[in-house]
A and B are shown apart, each in its own frame.
Chain A
Amino acid sequence: MRVSFNEVQVISRKAFEGLGFAPGDCDDAADMIARLQQQGLDGIGALKKALAFLHDEVDRPIETCYEDAAQLTLDAHGQSVLRCAAQAVELGVSKALRGGSAFIRIRHCHNRILLLGYLARCADQGLNFCVYWRDARQELVATFSAGDSQPSLRVHELPQPAMSDEQSINVLISRHFTLLPRLSLAGKHSQSLADGLEVDDEVWGMLKKLGERVLVESTEESRRRGAGESSDA
């Protein structure tokens, strides 16, 4: 089905509310999903995969393994990047703004592609981003040029199964380095909003169900008084 950007945001936010995300985090996470969808990178599909982890996830501290003026290594202990994207990326951005470049590595995290949804918000900082992560067979590399909220994404097949990389994601932030050339995704942004965004019906239904978790069953009393159409008395 085709849906609007706002619908993706709203259904994702409600789903995150249903999952018990903290105040304000629902909007942040929903925005990451919607931006990924807008970029043509199937944010809703990524959310579907994330749900398997998010259902059982309890909000817990992100461990700082190493930090200096230009580097940051975090351990998410198996949590989704939705939980720590803002803290990690913004801390890296502040380091890069001060020193020219910075490197962030988040270990043991899931749903790594969703980080691109957050980085799309950082385009106005005058910084370039290069993100890379790998699974058993392939390495994914995405870059954002300064001032551009649309990434270039390349997938490289690995010649042989990768050694464990701790399910990590790496972000290089700099004013300087050369980026991947723009791929065919260019121009999709404005087109997609006017045409609506294509999403999978089944996943959409799942998200609706999740959002329904925060709905309160109607009673005669709540129907009569809760919305306030009748008098206060």
Chain B
Amino acid sequence: MSYSPSEATPPALRPADQVMDLDRLGSHFQSRLSFVRSSMRRMMNEQWRIQRSCFDLDADGFGTAIYRIDTPHAHYHCVIFSAYLPPEKRSDRVIADQWDVSFVLVAGDVDEQQLAHLRRNVPLQEAGRFDARVLVLSRANRSLRNFDRFLGALAEGVQPQPQQLAEVGYLYRTTAVYGNGKFGIADFSCLQGTADFTQPFSAQMFTVYLLRHFSIEQIEHMARARNPQRAVELDVALQRYLGVGNSTGLGMAPFLVNHPQLVNQWVWARETALARVMEQAADLPEVQRMRALLKRAHRHVQQSVTDDQRQSVIDQRTLADLDLLVEWFDSQPVCADLWPRVQAWAQTHASQGCQELLVSLLLELYPEQVDPLAEQMAVKEGFRLNADMPLAELRALIEDHYRWALDFDLNDPEANHFFWYRSAEKEEPRLGERAMEPGAEKEMQLGIAHNIQRCHAALLAYMEQHPQQQTAHFLLARPHFKGTVCRLQGMARCAYGEIRANLMDRSMLPIDLLRCKLAFFGAGKFDPKSSRWVRITLFQGAPLVSEIGQPFSDDWNFAVMPTLSGEV
């Protein structure tokens, strides 16, 4: 049921200066629109079938596993190679060259010849070559602590402690999941011709889900090999509580700056979903569901463990705010405009962490309003120059839409403290301090505010001589600004997209950029290792492969630690 608030105008989208603030983007949580959620929904709704077709592993879990996946539209294979990793080679960094497991998602069948090719190339990852039959290429390392504990427990016939999974929610941690044409694999446009992986990162997320399934089957296999008489299978509740980790550094940050139209689409979908929810009149069932969601989210955050002091403070603040929110919410009557009121309360009384968590929870209440937007996360990227835009209009466009960029004082040394660069070592993205480190002359072009300010100054100077001319004339005289002008003209048509921050500023925290992207992926349990590096968990709480085809409520996020039978 929807209602018309007394003001008569439906709730508008939140403004870009609020939504695209970097601190706020760095406070995002997973939601129904996250790619793991939409991928899981598709698998369950279409009853994808996942079957093991090869499981040639030794007692240590080394060898080859192959899974066949049948969807209503096509079939695929996931080929996983597991090998011994010497301790000195163990690293989550891009500069690593060996991993515990390496794997691919392949379209169609895999014959002996292709399998031999994959066996030679997949373990090499970036150094291998592939063809367009390969859709996703990835690798992962074991969480040694969890792996040893789980294996030991299962081999002895007992279940591991759920607390271990609350602390580190996985057995494997991916360190890169490649799609879209990397190293010769299929371009994203090839996937858009299929019905299964039309949304960004959906093929990658599905492949990660298969790794989760493999990790369960592998550790049970190893436990049986170690102690055939006593070994037990992992409890189903723990299987569900098991996710897949991911370890991520700075590489995600340039992606967000270089794909503003895609970022716009994702943020637009989320904000549109929120606005739709705001238009719904609250009824008792939704209010009760909200209470349950608040309680579960509270426990989820409470059970998130991190050694990072900053994240810990943020989590504690979020928990405290959630307590206040629950208290306030419980005192409210069920009334039509409850959702706008709860959002307004959070806006006034709660931290950004709590506010954005609330957004995720609100989106849970009305799936029919929200879920269709998950099918609109892709966008055709590329900017076209609007050549005949009068210069006065171009100037007004900069001053209106990019006021935030013009307002930065970029002459302040603090505003130029960092520079982003790619290292000669496997092109790993890194951050350097301009005054202290070499390489600033080769910095990546991520200074959007800098570009805008330079372009604006050049435009004003040009307009003194040629006030009546068009944009193309300015760019014929100053071709250096063509890229900047194309971008700002294109982005002016978008509600969101540009991250309102100076990424070179001393106070900038790259972790906020990482979190924004990872939350759209569906990450939980953010555990920063520094301001530039974070470990997260995907698919924690998701249905198991064996549960595909069973009734599905799509209510598995913000997973909380299970209580095993027999536990008190």
Binding site for B on A (CB under 8 A): 1-7, 10, 17, 22-28, 31, 59-64, 74, 83-84, 86-88, 90-91, 93-95, 121, 193-196, 212-219, 221-223, 226-232
Q: List residues of chain A with CB within 8 A of the CB of B438.
A: 216-217, 219
Alpha-carbon separation in the docked complex, A130 to B411 (Å): 48
By the criterion CB–CB under 8 Å, are A227 and B533 in contact?
Answer: yes
By the criterion CB–CB under 8 Å, are B479 and A222 in contact?
Answer: no
Please, what's the 1-or-0 string for B502-535, where 1 marks a CB less than 8 Å from any CB in chain A? 0000000010000000000000000001111100
Partner of B132, one of A31, A60, A194, A213: A194
By the criterion CB–CB under 8 Å, are A23 and B532 in contact?
Answer: no
Partner of B190, one of A27, A63, A93, A193: A193
Partner of A6, one of B182, B387, B533: B182
Can you list 11 pairs linking A and B with CB atoms under 8 Å apart?
Answer: A4-B181, A4-B182, A5-B181, A22-B480, A22-B482, A28-B486, A90-B387, A214-B444, A226-B430, A227-B93, A227-B429
By the criterion CB–CB under 8 Å, are B422 and A216 in contact?
Answer: yes
Please, which residue of chain A has its CB at the minimum distance from the CB of B514? A228
Q: How far apart are A4's CB and chain B's nearest CB, in angstroms? A: 3
CB of B382 closer than 8 Å to a CB of A: yes
Please, what's the 1-or-0 string for B524-550, where 1 marks a CB less than 8 Å from any CB in chain A? 000001111100000000000000000
Partner of B382, one of A22, A31, A62: A31
Binding site for A on B (CB under 8 A): 92-95, 129, 131-132, 180-190, 249-250, 258, 382-388, 421-425, 427-432, 437-439, 442, 444-445, 447, 451, 470, 472-473, 475-484, 486-487, 510, 529-533
Alpha-carbon separation in the docked complex, A84 to B423 (Å): 31
Partner of B530, one of A7, A59, A230: A230
Knowing A23-B445, A64-B473, the reply to whether A228 touches B531 (Cβ < 8 A) is yes
Partner of B187, one of A6, A63, A94, A228: A6
Q: How far apart are A122's CB and chain B's nearest CB, in angstroms? A: 8
Q: How far apart are A110's CB and chain B's nearest CB, in angstroms? A: 15
By the criterion CB–CB under 8 Å, are A24 and B532 in contact?
Answer: no
Q: List residues of chain B with CB within 8 A of the CB of A25.
A: 479-480, 482-483
Interface core residue of B423, B425, B472 (most chain A CB under 10 Å): B472
Knowing A83-B479, A195-B132, the reply to whether A214 touches B180 (Cβ < 8 A) is no
Q: List residues of chain A with CB within 8 A of the CB of B182.
A: 4, 6-7
Q: List residues of chain B with CB within 8 A of the CB of A121.
A: 382, 384
Knowing A229-B249, A232-B531, the reply to whether A217 touches B181 (Cβ < 8 A) is no
Knowing A86-B486, A216-B424, the reply to whether A228 touches B470 (Cβ < 8 A) is no
Alpha-carbon separation in the docked complex, A167 to B51 (Å): 62
Knowing A215-B422, A227-B94, A231-B529, the reply to whether A91 touches B184 (Cβ < 8 A) is no
Knowing A227-B249, A231-B530, the reply to whether A196 touches B131 (Cβ < 8 A) is yes
By the criterion CB–CB under 8 Å, are B187 and A193 in contact?
Answer: yes
Alpha-carbon separation in the docked complex, A88 to B486 (Å): 14
Alpha-carbon separation in the docked complex, A223 to B484 (Å): 32
Q: List residues of chain A with CB within 8 A of the CB of B189.
A: 5, 193
Alpha-carbon separation in the docked complex, A21 to B444 (Å): 12
By the criterion CB–CB under 8 Å, are A4 and B184 in contact?
Answer: yes
Q: List residues of chain A with CB within 8 A of the CB of B94.
A: 227
Given A90-B386, A229-B93, 11 further pairs, Cβ under 8 A: A1-B129, A28-B486, A61-B476, A61-B478, A61-B479, A193-B189, A194-B186, A194-B190, A196-B184, A227-B93, A227-B428
Please, which residue of chain A has its CB at the minimum distance from the CB of B534? A228
By the criterion CB–CB under 8 Å, are B479 and A216 in contact?
Answer: no
Knowing A87-B476, A94-B387, the reply to whether A4 touches B424 (Cβ < 8 A) is no
Q: List residues of chain B with CB within 8 A of the CB of A22.
A: 479-484
By the criterion CB–CB under 8 Å, are B476 and A227 in contact?
Answer: no
Interface core residue of A5, A6, A24, A228 (most chain B CB under 10 Å): A228
Alpha-carbon separation in the docked complex, A84 to B486 (Å): 13
Alpha-carbon separation in the docked complex, A196 to B184 (Å): 7
By the criterion CB–CB under 8 Å, are A228 and B530 in contact?
Answer: yes
By the criterion CB–CB under 8 Å, are A216 and B439 in contact?
Answer: yes
Q: List residues of chain A with CB within 8 A of the CB of B482.
A: 22, 24-25, 28, 86-87
* The 7 nearest A-B residue pairs measured at CB: A24-B483, A228-B532, A6-B181, A226-B430, A4-B181, A216-B439, A90-B387
Partner of B470, one of A17, A91, A218: A91
Q: How far apart are A228's CB and chain B's nearest CB, in angstroms? A: 2
By the criterion CB–CB under 8 Å, are A87 and B385 in contact?
Answer: yes
Q: List residues of chain A with CB within 8 A of the CB of B486.
A: 24, 28, 86
By the criterion CB–CB under 8 Å, are A222 and B181 in contact?
Answer: no
By the criterion CB–CB under 8 Å, are B481 and A87 in contact?
Answer: no
Please, which residue of chain B has its CB at the minimum distance from the CB of A226? B430
Q: List residues of chain B with CB within 8 A of the CB of A223.
A: 95, 423, 425
Alpha-carbon separation in the docked complex, A199 to B387 (Å): 34
By the criterion CB–CB under 8 Å, are A94 and B388 in contact?
Answer: yes
Knowing A87-B482, A215-B424, the reply to whether A4 touches B532 (Cβ < 8 A) is no
Q: List residues of chain B with CB within 8 A of the CB of A31.
A: 382
Alpha-carbon separation in the docked complex, A64 to B476 (Å): 8
Q: How far apart are A125's CB and chain B's nearest CB, in angstroms? A: 9
Alpha-carbon separation in the docked complex, A218 to B423 (Å): 6
Q: How far apart are B452's CB and chain A's nearest CB, in angstroms? A: 10
Q: List residues of chain A with CB within 8 A of the CB of B131.
A: 2, 196
By the criterion CB–CB under 8 Å, are B424 and A62 in contact?
Answer: no
Please, which residue of chain B has its CB at the minimum distance from the CB of A3? B184
Q: How far apart are A124's CB and chain B's nearest CB, in angstroms? A: 9
Q: How far apart are B402's CB and chain A's nearest CB, in angstroms? A: 14
By the criterion CB–CB under 8 Å, are B181 and A7 in contact?
Answer: yes
Q: How far apart are B517's CB and chain A's nearest CB, in angstroms? A: 15
By the criterion CB–CB under 8 Å, are B249 and A228 in contact?
Answer: yes
By the criterion CB–CB under 8 Å, are A229 and B483 in contact?
Answer: no
Please, which residue of chain B has its CB at the minimum distance from the CB of A222? B430
